[in-house]
Amino acid sequence: MTLLRAEGLVKSFGKTHALDGAGITIRAGEVVAVMGPSGSGKSTLLHCLAGILPPDSGTVHYRDRELTSMNDGDRSELRRTEFGFVFQFGQLVPELTCLENVALPLRLSGMKRKDAERAANEWLARLEVDGVADQRPGETSGGQGQRVAVARALVTGPKVIFADEPTGALDSLNGERVMHLLTTAARETGAAVVLVTHEPRVAAYSDREVVVRDGRSRDVEFAR
């Protein structure tokens, strides 16, 4: 089932054409790697897909809703309830403890503090970082922080997880561990993953890849 479909995305920043007719299709539950050289527009594509950045033209459909015609509040809510995000670094609120960071999205959708923190704790345990629950992000290692971020992305049970270079700041072993945990958890919960990366071994955790070059995407459908 097609979950997310983008067509003819164009996005320019001044004279830079970051996206120049890119498109992509994400099916429910699959892990798609977005690859391509630096500056080819991968992150921009991800931002447009997730409704963070409005494209200059083109459409993004999530299920039967058209993202580009939704207002900011609705898109925010969609992101909060249906999507999860993992970035390379600096995504955790430095003042909150790791547990509170993970509980935050649940609390924002109105869950009681106790319940939210219980769920958060479960996710931390699943990602093997329940040891740092009461520490602040600044007091954790990069790998632990990234796992906390993954827990935060997964805790709301999203349908799509957007990950932009989630292992960019980690060594191979930690990076693979994070990828393993992320993809396993996503498969278990049936979430699709859009994974921007330029590391082949990270991309190998995907089901298929999309190559972005000069703002145009190529959906390389590989027979499984």
Partner 1 sequence: MVCIVPLMSIGHALLGLLEGGPRHGYDLKRAYDERFGQDRPLHYGQVYSTLSRLLKNGLVTEAGVEAGDGPERKRYAITDAGVTDVERWLSTPEKPEPYLQNTLYAKVVLALLSGRSAVEVLDTQRSAHLGTMRELTRRKADGDLADQLICDFALFHLEADLRWLELTAARVDQLAVEVKR
Partner 2 sequence: MNRTISDLALGVRLAVGGSRKSWVRLALQGLGIGMCVAVLVLAASIPGAFAARDAKGNLSEPQPQGTGPAPLLVENAYVAYRSDYIQGRYLKVLKADAPRPPGVEKLPGDGEIVLSPALAELLASPKGELLRPRFPQRVVGTIGQAGLTGPKDYTFYAGDDRIGESGGTKAYGFGVHYGGGGIAPILWLLSVVGIVVLLFPVLVFVGVAARLAAAQRDRRLAALRLVGAGASRVRLIASGEALVGALVGLAVGFGIFYAIRPFVDKISIAQLAIFPSDLTPSLGLVLLVVVAVPVLAVFTSLFAMRRTIIEPLGVVRQQKPVRRRLWWRLVPAIVGAALLGSQMGKINDTDRPEQWPVVIGVVLLMLGIPVLLPWLVERVVFRIRGGSPALQLAVRRLQLDSGTAARVVGGVAVVLAGTVTLQMILAGVEQEVVSKEKRQANLAVLTVSTDENVAVPGLREALEKAATVRSVQEISRTGASAGEANYVGIVIGPCDALKTQATITNCADGKAYYAPDSGGGRAVEPGAELTLGDPRKGVRWKAPAQWEPATARNGGLYLTPAAAAGIPVDNTSREFMAELDLSVPDAAEHARNAIAAYPWQTFTSFAGQNDIPEMERVFGLVRQGLYAGTAITLLLAGASMLLMALEQVRERRRPLAVLAASGVPRGTLARSLLWQNGVPLVLSTAVSVATGIGLGALSMKVSDAEIAFDWPGIALVTAASAALVLAVTALTLPSLRRATGALGLRTE
Ligand X SMILES: Nc1ncnc2c1ncn2[C@@H]1O[C@H](COP(=O)(O)OP(=O)(O)OP(=O)(O)O)[C@@H](O)[C@H]1O
What residue ranges bind partner 1 (CB under 8 A)?
33, 37, 180, 184, 198-201, 203-207, 209, 211, 213, 218, 220, 222, 224
Nearer to Mg ion, 103 or 194 (CB): 194
Cα–Cα distance, 175 to 209 (Å, whole number): 18
SS (H, E, C) 117-175: HHHHHHHHHHCCCHHHCCCCHHHCCHHHHHHHHHHHHHCCCCCEEEEECCCCCCCHHHH
- Restricted to residues 7-66, the positions that interact with ligand X (CB under 6 A) are 13, 16, 18, 36, 38-44
Q: Considering the complex, what minimum distance in angstroms separates the CB of residue 189 from ligand X?
A: 26
**Which range of residues in 2-10, 63-71, 92-100, 209-217 is near partner 2 by CB under 8 A?**
92-100
Nearer to Mg ion, 163 or 178 (CB): 163
What residue has token string 């319940």? 115
The burial of 70, by beta-carbon neighbours within 10 Å (0-12 exposed, 13-18 middle, 19 or more buried), is given as middle
Q: How many CA atoms lie within 13 A of 224 on its CB side?
A: 5
Smallest CA-to-CA distance from 35 within 200, 204, 197, 218 is with: 197
Cα–Cα distance, 20 to 159 (Å, whole number): 27
Binding partner of 201, given partner 1, Mg ion, ligand X, none, CB within 5-8 angstroms per partner class: partner 1
Cα–Cα distance, 162 to 5 (Å, whole number): 14
Q: Considering the complex, what minimum distance in angstroms separates the CB of residue 99 from partner 1?
A: 28
- Cβ atoms 4, 200 nearer than 8 A: no
- Restricted to residues 32-71, the positions that interact with Mg ion (CB under 5 A) are 43
Binding mask 47-86 for partner 2 (x = CB under 8 A): x--x-xx-------------------x-xxxxxxx-xxx-
Count of residues engaged in binding partner 2, rule: CB under 8 A:
38
- Footprint of ligand X on this chain (CB under 6 A)? 13, 16, 18, 36, 38-44, 198
- Footprint of partner 2 on this chain (CB under 8 A)? 43, 47, 50, 52-53, 73, 75-81, 83-85, 87-97, 100, 104-105, 107-108, 113, 136, 138-139, 152-153
